[in-house]
Structure formats: structure tokens, C-alpha cells
Amino acid sequence: IRRILLPGDAFFAADAGASHILRLGWLPEMVIGDLDSLPETERKKLQASGVRIVQYPQDKDLTDLELAINKVLEEGYHRILIVAALGGRLDMTLSNLNLMTRPDLKELDVRMDDGIEQLQIVRGKALIQGRVGDTISLIPWGGAVEMVTTSGLRWPLTNAHLELFETRTVSNEMLGDQAEIRVGSGCLLCIHRRKIESYEGQDQKE
């Protein structure tokens, strides 16, 4: 994951996300959550370093990630990369993916990434930067998706109608360094899986 994070980025940690940032050798701008999974030693280190900590009660209505996204929006950021939010628990993973469909995120650049796969919700137009042979899967999210057109992929679509239960848009391939996806209406989950060996020694710029 290190190669997709830059030292100049502003890091906001959802609870124990602060532990990951510390292990990378950086400090978060802010830690948000109920802090039930953040070790006390690391919390003290963060406090001693002047990191802002916003603690909520454990009996709360929102997940730590949703609280963190709210804080990021309050701070005025328009590009959000969410890491370490995939895997572990299926309920949390699905909930995290659904967070990207929030109406107030529609005009922002919001993605999830684990270093191998990058996920985003396409509403309108999206450009995917990658390499030849990278896998692109498009999954209707929340309902049917209309007028789907793609370019730069081995199997292109033109004004396609995609139903929620269809699988024909799984495991497409990039033909070059860029692919384009256009959606007329609905939400399309785009999963970009990198061929990691083709990125070895390359700088990844977000």
C-alpha cells in the first residue's frame, strides 16, 4: 500500500487506522472513532505528537469510517482515498462500499484501495489509469445501470443496459494505460485489479 500513499497526503485515521499510519512512519492529521481498537500506547504517542483525536462513544449510530468521512468533508477535501477498508468482515466491507454511494460524494473523487485492487463508484464518467492486462470488473450497484459505454477495454460496451444480477462485465482487460467508463444513470462499481508484477519499480501517482 505504501506506493500509493505520498508523504504530502493528509491522513485521517478511522480508529485503529492510526496504527497502520504509524507503521508507515507517518502521523495522521486526525484520529476519529470510538477508539476501541487503538492500543493505549499508540494513543499516548499520538497525543504527545499533537495529533487531533476526536473520540465518540462506543454506543453510536455510525461506523468509524463514516465518521471519518464526515470529518474529511468538513475539512474541505475533494479527493479521498480510503485504504484498509476491504476484507476481514463481509458486513463491514459491504457497508464501506455502500458509503461511496452517498449523494454528497457524487461530485468528488472517492476510491478504496488495498494496494492491489482499487474500487470506485462510477456515476457519469471515470478514467482508469493502469497497465495493459489489468483486470477491470464492472458491477451494477443498487439496481440496473443504463447507457454504459466503455473504451480501452478488450470487450467494449456501447450504451449497454446492465441488470443487477448480470455477470458479463466481470473480468475485462485493459488494452493500454487508460480506460474510460461512461454511465447514463445508476451506480456502477468499478474494480480495477492491477497486475502487480507490471508495477514493480514503477512510481504510482494518485
What predicted TM-score, i.e. pTM, was given to this entire model? 0.88
Question: Is the confidence at residue 204, as pLDDT, over 60?
Answer: no
Q: Render pLDDT for 94-122 as a digit per residue (tens, 0 to 9).
A: 999 999 999 999 999 999 999 899 999 99
Q: Render pLDDT for 139-164 as a digit per residue (tens, 0 to 9).
A: 999 999 999 999 999 999 999 999 99
Q: Which residue has the cell 458486513?
A: 91
Question: Alpha helices of 35-129 — where are they, by DSSP H?
Answer: 40-48, 64-74, 90-99
Question: Is the confidence at residue 165, as pLDDT, over 80?
Answer: yes
Mean pLDDT of all residues in 39-57: 94
Cβ-contact 187, 145 below 8 angstroms: yes
* Per-residue confidence band for 1, with pLDDT thresholds at 50, 70 and 90: confident
Residue of 114, 115, 130 lying closest to 198 (CA atoms): 130
